[in-house]
Amino acid sequence: MGPIHILHLEDDLADAELVQVKLEAAGLTCQITHVQTRAEFDKALRQGNPEIILADFHLPMYDGMSALRLAQEICPDVPFIFVSGT
């Protein structure tokens, strides 16, 4: 089985790294595309074919619920999980 293709919407690079470390520590082989903005997220959804989407709930200039709605519109069958330090 190849790596799991994950799209990760996170504005804090330290949090994105922590998520990656935790996934790898759990034994998962992942290919993570990290994006920080709505524009990057939209582009990655349309071009990247993620198998799962991870997203912070609170982002500057963009919010998790808007990200969820966009993901459901573009790739409705891809699981979407909120990951937040809050």
Counting residues of the chain whose pLDDT is more than 70, the rounded percentage is 97
- 20-29 pLDDT, tens digit each: 999 999 999 9
Gyration radius from the chain CA atoms: 12
DSSP string, 18-51: HHHHHHHHTT--EEEEEE-SHHHHHHHHHHH--S
- 5-47 pLDDT, tens digit each: 999 999 999 999 999 999 999 999 999 999 999 999 999 999 9
Q: Who contacts 18 (Cβ-Cβ below 8 Å, separation ≥6)?
A: none
Confidence of residue 73 (pLDDT cuts 50, 70, 90): very high
Does residue 79 contact residue 53 with C-beta atoms inside 8 Å? yes
Q: In 3-state terms, what secondary structure has residue 73?
A: helix
The pTM assigned to this predicted structure is 0.91
- Going by their DSSP bridges, the two strands 58-59 and 30-35 should be labelled as unpaired
